[in-house]
Amino acid sequence: MTSPYNKLKALNINLPPVGVPAAAYVPFVQTGNLIFLSGHIAKKYVSGAASVWTGKLGENMMTADGNAAARAVAIDLLGTLEAACKASGKDLNAVKRIVKIMGLVNSAPDYTEQHLVTNGCSELIAEIFGNQVGSHARSAFGVAQLPLGACVEIEMIVEI
């Protein structure tokens, strides 16, 4: 199995540091061998500065844009996952399985492609960890609104 760090390097992906929570929660919780990552909203990075990636799928955003936003969320999730692994003296090589991803997509009432948006996250995670570790259970929901007007929010459960 290829190291997730080798895949990240090959894809020219640098993991961001853990973001500071915007409300009363923590970025991750570990219980036993499971790490629960709090929901991460989509962000755009311009000259190193992050801003919320806002929009509503099916209204002012296309599915491909939402897919790209979900991919960006995956990178943020991986940064938090790395911090969670390090908190227990490990790194991303300790990941045994991506258990579940839940995607929330800020959607117009008649929008039905939430699954295709969330694929942006799922596909990158599987590419980084390989199918045996990276394939996961998943839910994708359309919601009326997300914090700060974000277009996508995703949370993840991981076994180490």
Q: Which domains does the chain have, with CATH numbers?
A: 4-13+25-159 (3.30.1330.40)
Work out the average pLDDT over 108-119. Answer: 98
The whole-model pTM stands at: 0.96
Average the pLDDT over 87-93 and give the result: 97
On the question of pLDDT at 158 being above 80, the answer is: yes
Residue 156 CA, distance from chain mean position: 7
Structure tokens at 150: 């974000």
Q: What is the pLDDT of residue 1?
A: 56
